[in-house]
Amino acid sequence: MHTIKRTLTDFIGAELMALTGLDEVNPNVITASKPEFGDYQANGVMALAKRLGRNPRELGAELRARLEAADNPLVERYELAGPGFINIHLSVEALRMRANALLENPSLLISTAESPQTIVVDYSSPNLAKEMHVGHLRGTIIGDSIARILERQGHRVIRQNHVGDWGTQFGMLITFMRESSAEAGLALADLEGFYRAAKKRFDEDSEFAARARESVVKLQSGDPEYLEAWRSFIDTSLTHCQAVYDKLNVTLSMNDLKAESFYNPQLAGVVTRLENAGLLQESDGAWCVFLDEFVGKDGDPLPVIIQKTDGGFLYATTDLAAVDYRCHVLNADRSLYVVDARQSLHFQQVFAVAAAAGFSDSSISLEHISYGTMMGSDGKPFKTRSGDVVKLVDLLNEAVSRAYELVSMKNPDIEEAERRKIAQAVGIASVKYADLSKNRTSDYLFDWSSMLSFEGNTAPYLMYAYARIATLLAKQGHSTQTARLLPAVSSMAPEETALLLKALQLAETVEAVAQDCFPNTLSTYLYELAGTFMRFYEACPIQGADEITRAQRLSLCVLASEALKQGLNLLGIETLERM
């Protein structure tokens, strides 16, 4: 089933083409911004009139006449407004029929893409030398939601966890591991502490530093003993990551790993191909690519460094190999890089060099899905009180214990074991939702009290709204499994039609996020849906209503709860039947 917006866009677009004789038009159908403007508005007439040198109001009137004559069952009536807006009022009967199809098969609440694509989602991708810290939180959460949404749309999603597992730091770490783990009793259980101790030794002890450098060379030349030590370090670090993913209810698994080291065998070839393409240039003793479009503040050309004089390859070199792999081996139609905005120049350069050298071609769309920095309440990048980076596990544990206090305060009668379970879900959901509800491109202020509030656009509010409907339906002996159809009654209160329409709009919301990768559009929708439900619930009593009205209202509850649940799940948030 096409979404309402798509159905209207296709229909009005076709009529506009027939009317103007043009073979490309944008009817610009949007959700109406105010109830007075109907349910949807087609705003494309003005731009078109300008293009054709015609009076917009006249063109609008002609379009309206055509639309009326076409008699689309989805629409009840059209209004011509202002300089040529078309306001669209939908037919409640058509909405009711759509809703019934969804009540019979709730999985249709979200439609699937007409032509499924292969889409790589590169996200989380921490550096394995250290433990995951708050800097990895946003990318992990946002990327996971995007992956879930694309998958739900029927695309073939290939998650790629492009972890940093190679480079000089690992020489330092394995040397430290070989030499001092017994003596210092340092367990890798505290990877962060281990890294700090190794770094301290590296900075203070020049002989150790020399051995560490040597071990990098040994590692790169494939010395089995060093490789084994490296492998065991990486495995420990990956176990840490996986524990965080599981705690966060993030869908990444060990199968999604495509570490930087995976591309090592390709790197020499990357250099050769760049050279053959005539793109490689020596500069300051390193092999670089200069493209005209990249110049620094002073107007000097900016290099993309490919290989250092000592033979070492760089971050960009690996990313070029990865573009090649995603384009030519995975045959992806899109490759999304959910990575911090501070790497935006890096990706612009990689994408440009990849295109120039044929690592990518027009069959793939390379997209940097960037996000801003997570800030503490002091407006500076989030740190502990003592100024250290916050470990992600610690942050998540704190979220759960704060949620436990909250739940215990709100619902002291629930048994402790269940309160713990609820706290687990609410704590994690709060951290995720707080992030997903903000526009990802802005920096984001991390604030415990607002994310854990039961009021406003928060996870606790939405989860509570869902649990309330679920409890109500359970009391009425109704559930999402026992679908009830909306009876064909002629009258519906405005609060009822508002809820009906809102629930049906989940599909087009998800479709939009699949396109532009802004999950906050979905959060906003879910918050509005919950508000629409609350208004319905206040205005339209279920108890005491006549049989048909009662059935209608319960069906609307089922529809709303299903939309809330499916929407929250796409944000990686699990709903609870009771809270």
* H-run or E-run covering 356: helix 344-357
E-strand stretches of 326-364: 334-340
Angle at 462 between CA 459 and CA 482, to 5 degrees: 135
Binding mask 491-520 for ligand ARG (x = CB under 6 A): ------------------------------
- String marking each residue 326-365 x if it binds ligand ARG according to CB under 6 A: -----------x-x--------------------------
Query: How many residues interact with ligand ARG (rule CB under 6 A)?
Result: 10
Q: Please tell me whether residue 334 adopts helix, strand or coil conformation.
A: strand
For the segment 32-71, give every residue that binds ligand ARG (CB under 6 A): none
Q: Note whether 165 binds ligand ARG by CB under 6 A.
A: no
Nearest to ligand ARG of 213, 346 (CB atom): 346
- Residue 19 backbone dihedrals phi, psi, to 5 degrees: -70, -40
Is the Cβ of residue 322 or residue 510 nearer to ligand ARG in the bound state? 322
Question: What six digits make up the tokens of 6?
Answer: 């798509």
**Burial of 71 (C-beta count, 10 Å sphere; 0-12/13-18/19+):** exposed
Residue 487 burial (C-beta neighbours within 10 Å; 0-12, 13-18, 19+) = middle
Q: What residue number has its CB nearest to ligand ARG? A: 125
Q: Which residues pair with 375 in a beta bridge?
A: 381, 445
Taking a C-beta distance cutoff of 8 angstroms, is the pair 5, 40 a contact?
yes
Q: CB 523 → ligand ARG: shortest distance, Å?
A: 24
**Tokens 């849906």 found at:** 529
Specify the amino acid at residue 535.
Answer: R
With tokens 């590296």, the residue in question is: 202
Distance of closest approach, residue 298 Cβ to ligand ARG, in angstroms: 27
Tokens of 316: 């960009």
Decide if residue 319 touches ligand ARG (CB under 6 A).
yes
Asked if 322 touches ligand ARG (CB under 6 A), the answer is: yes
Closest approach of ligand ARG to the CB of residue 371, in Å: 12
Taking the least distance from each CB to ligand ARG, the nearer of 321 and 406 is: 321
Closest approach of ligand ARG to the CB of residue 122, in Å: 5
**Residue (126 or 427) nearer to ligand ARG, CB:** 126
Q: Which of 56, 164, 171, 572 binds ligand ARG (CB under 6 A)?
A: 164
Q: Which amino acid type is present at position 528?
A: E
Q: How many CB atoms lie within 10 A of CB 141?
A: 28
Beta bridge partners of residue 2, listed in sequence order: none
Query: Which residue's CB is nearer to ligand ARG, number 127 or number 373?
Result: 127
> Which residue has tokens 């609440």?
109
Please give the angle made by the CA atoms of 560, 148 and 239, to the nearest 5 degrees.
130
**Footprint of ligand ARG on 101-130 (CB under 6 A):** 122, 125-127
**CA 446: distance to chain centroid?**
18
| Residue 106 beta carbon to ligand ARG: minimum distance, rounded to whole angstroms | 36
Shortest separation between residue 427's beta carbon and ligand ARG, angstroms: 25
What span, in angstroms and rounded, lies between the C-alpha atoms of 562 and 111? 14
CB of 556: closest distance to ligand ARG in angstroms? Answer: 44
Q: Which is nearer to ligand ARG, 247 or 346 (by Cβ)?
A: 346
Nearer to ligand ARG, 57 or 346 (CB): 346
* Sequence-distant (≥ 6) Cβ neighbours of residue 187 within 8 angstroms: 181, 194
CB of residue 21 to ligand ARG, shortest distance in Å: 47
Tell the smallest beta-carbon distance from residue 519 to ligand ARG (Å).
19
347 is written with which tokens?
């990706």
What is the contact surface with ligand ARG in residues (CB under 6 A)?
Answer: 122, 125-127, 162, 164, 319, 322, 337, 339
